[in-house]
Amino acid sequence: MSVRISLWLCGLLTLATAGTVSAAGKATSGDIFPYTVSATTLANGLKVVVIPYDSPGTVAYYLVVRTGSRDEVEAGHSGFAHFFEHMMFRGTEKYPEEKYNDILKKMGADSNASTADDATTYHIVGPSSELATMMDMESDRFKNLKYSEDAFRTESLAVLGEYNKGVSNPVQPMFEKLRDLAYEKHTYKHTTIGFVADIKAMPAYYDYSRQFFNRFYRPENVVLLVVGDVQPQKVFDLAKQYYGDWKPGYKAPAIVAEPQQQEKKTGHLDWPNPTRPYLFLGYHMPAFSTRTVDSAALDMIGDLLFSESAPLYQELVVNKQWVDFIQGGTNDNRDPNLFIVLARVKSEDLMPKVKETVDRYLQQLATQPVDPQRLARTKSHERYDFALGLDTPGKVAAQVAEVLSQSGDVQDINRRFMQFEKVTPADVQRLARATFQSRNETEVTLSHPAGAPAKPAPGGAHE
């Protein structure tokens, strides 16, 4: 789990109407995202975004399905978005699994996928000369995925194995517990992989899995993104050829809004094996938006508190050496999520002191204006750190894909950094005061009970 800013590059474009092409135009001076973006929307609703990039012979090919664990609204059925990240590699009649993998190997391409709260993303980075082959293979599995009940059960057991491996690290069950406590109604209550009880029950839900796929894997809910050595019109023509007959039918889920938290929530996990204690904190915060400075200010608060030069980090890690590490910040989400703080503490007796120190710095931001020069340095760091990361077509595509999963508008990349420039010390103070309230806090701790024998690692929340 990363709690660094993950800029969901919500887009350099306003997507065109069905069947038309739009060029978002070249970047203007002051824009953080320097590339020209072209886009079209096919008649069936599939959005196609193309970004030419100076990478001779190489292209990044991304498919962003705007469905993640957020969309798992039916009780007892968490984990299915992540399940299809696995199942989509099982192959089709035209491209069985072995044939699909053999073609990728022959073209020297890298292929993978990932699932998050708000989206599932599939990507290939390979030779631009094989773009038509990528189109053929990827459109086929999105349109024609088929699997037997036996294959479904096998893959669902593989997901359970992945879960069991993950909870061997103390952070995953702590994150599960934090989410489970912090949320009452919203689907962010469960993590991406799902509640363990639901994963264990998954093999019995073959018919439900087919319904899930047919509901969410539809062209209106997907964005095709191509970055690299390409010509936009060629990509649009190929997309129409290979995806044009994909039938629409997306059905959006009814996601319940989370009510305001009214009191502090706490939880504790006993860890079966010897470990240093952990502290995990979560504070409800607004959803990602570029309409105001709020999201940008919260991102900057993460840096002001937890960068290696920050006073809080210096006190706890460098000077007093009370913690092995401390990190914190935001993840941008379509719906209101949590500002996270995570620390591993040197000993149990230091836990209250570490918590008191964190609270002191949080309240300091809420009650005292941050030094304007320090704020300016933080803004500069954010800008150059982002710009320096755009050094391969895959990295550019990954950033844009994250934004497309949020708002669908690539221009939000530039809007976000425009909001960064507007953030004032008063904005930082206002957001810190609104966020770091006791009633808005969820705290989870983990430790190994003194003298307890070692045991197998536990399951997670809702076991």
| Res 229: pLDDT | 98
Task: Based on the fold, state whether residues 206 and 291 are members of the same structural domain.
Answer: no
Question: Residue 41 pLDDT more than 80?
Answer: yes
The answer to which of 30-34, 41-45, 119-123, 208-212 has the lowest mean pLDDT is 30-34
DSSP 295-346: HHHHHHHHHHHHSTTSHHHIIIIIIS--EEEEEEE----SS--EEEEEEEES
pLDDT reading at 454 higher than 70: no
Q: Which residues lie below 8 Å from residue 370, measured CB to CB, with a gap of 6+?
A: 304, 425, 428, 429
In a domain, 257, yes or no: no
Residue 380 lies in a domain: yes
Higher pLDDT, 30 or 48: 48
pLDDT in the model for residue 331: 87
Note whether 347 and 358 are within 8 A (CB): no
* pLDDT (mean) for 257-263: 97
More confident site: 193 or 453 = 193
- Please indicate, yes or no, whether residues 99 and 149 belong to a single structural domain of this protein: yes
- Specify whether 282 is located in the same domain as 387: yes
Q: Which of 8-22, 41-55, 261-275 has the lowest mean pLDDT?
A: 8-22
Residue 142 lies in a domain: yes
Give which of 78, 271, 73, 68 is closest to 160, Cα–Cα: 78
**239 and 269 belong to one structural domain:** no
d(CA 275, CA 63): 40
In the predicted model, is pLDDT for residue 413 greater than 90?
A: yes
Mean pLDDT of 8-29: 39
The overall average pLDDT reported for the chain is 91
Give the lowest-confidence range in 17-31, 48-62, 447-461. 17-31
Q: What is the pLDDT of residue 20?
A: 37
pLDDT recorded at residue 334? 95
Q: How many residues belong to the chain?
A: 463
| 282 and 358 assigned to the same domain | yes
> CA–CA separation, 55 vs 364, rounded Å?
47
Give a yes or no: residue 301 inside a domain. Answer: yes
Which residue, of 211, 243, 275, is where some domain finishes?
243
Question: Are 218 and 289 in the same domain?
Answer: no
Task: Give the model's pLDDT for residue 9.
Answer: 28
**pLDDT confidence of residue 453:** 66
Q: Indicate whether 461 belongs to any domain.
A: no
**Pairwise CA distance, residues 198 & 182, whole Å:** 19
Compute the average pLDDT of residues 77-84.
97
Tell me the CATH number at 287. 3.30.830.10
Closest CA to 142 of 211, 56, 84: 84
Please check whether residue 5 lies inside any domain of the structure.
no
pLDDT at 432: 98
Average pLDDT of the segment spanning 112-129:
97
Report residue 435's pLDDT band, with 50, 70 and 90 as the boundaries.
very high
Instruction: Looking at the structure, tell me whether residues 40 and 105 fall in a common domain.
Output: yes
Q: Give the 3-state DSSP-derived string for 19-51, with helices as H, strands as E and coil as C.
A: CCEEEEECCCCCCCCCCCEEEEECCCCCEEEEE
Question: What is the residue range of 438's domain?
Answer: 265-447
* pLDDT over 60 (residue 463): no
In this predicted structure, what is the pLDDT of residue 457? 58
299 within some domain:
yes
133 and 272: one domain? no
The number of distinct structural domains making up the chain is 2
Residues 117 and 98 sit within 8 Å (Cβ to Cβ): no
CA within 13 Å, CB half, 20: 8
Q: Are residues 374 and 280 in the same domain?
A: yes
State yes or no: pLDDT of 15 exceeds 90: no
> Do 432 and 301 touch, CB atoms closer than 8 A?
yes
DSSP string, 175-187: HHHHHHHH-SSSG
Tokens of 44: 């069936």
Per-residue pLDDT, 1: 31
How buried is residue 346: exposed, middle or buried, by Cβ count under 10 Å (0-12/13-18/19+)? middle
The token duo for 193 is: 């992989």
pLDDT category, 31, cuts 50, 70, 90?
confident
As a whole number, mean pLDDT of residues 82-95 equals: 94
pLDDT given for residue 7 in this prediction: 29
Looking at the structure, tell me whether residues 238 and 344 fall in a common domain.
Answer: no
Q: Which of 285, 218, 246, 247 is nearest to 71 (CA)?
A: 218
Query: Cα dist. 456→164, 272, 378, 451 in Å?
Result: 11, 7, 44, 16
In a domain, 437, yes or no: yes
User: Does residue 38 contact residue 23 with C-beta atoms inside 8 Å?
Assistant: yes
Please write the tens of the pLDDT for every residue from 337-366: 999 999 999 999 999 999 999 999 999 999
Mean local confidence (pLDDT), 433-448: 97
Q: Are 84 and 23 a contacting pair, CB within 8 Å?
A: no
**Does one domain contain both 204 and 293?**
no
Task: Please give the share of the chain, as a percent, with pLDDT higher than 90.
Answer: 88
Interval 131-154 mean pLDDT? 96
Question: Residue 429 pLDDT > 80, yes or no?
Answer: yes
Q: Kindly tell me if the per-residue pLDDT of 455 is higher than 60.
A: yes
Residue 366 shares a structural domain with residue 320: yes
Q: How confident is the model at residue 450 (pLDDT cuts 50, 70, 90)?
A: confident
Q: Does residue 322 register a pLDDT over 70?
A: yes
Q: Is the pLDDT of residue 421 over 60?
A: yes
Q: Give the helix/strand (H/E) hosting 172.
A: helix 171-182
What's the distance, CA 220 to chain centroid? 20
Which of 212, 243, 274 represents a domain boundary (last residue)? 243
| Beta partners for residue 21, in sequence order | 40
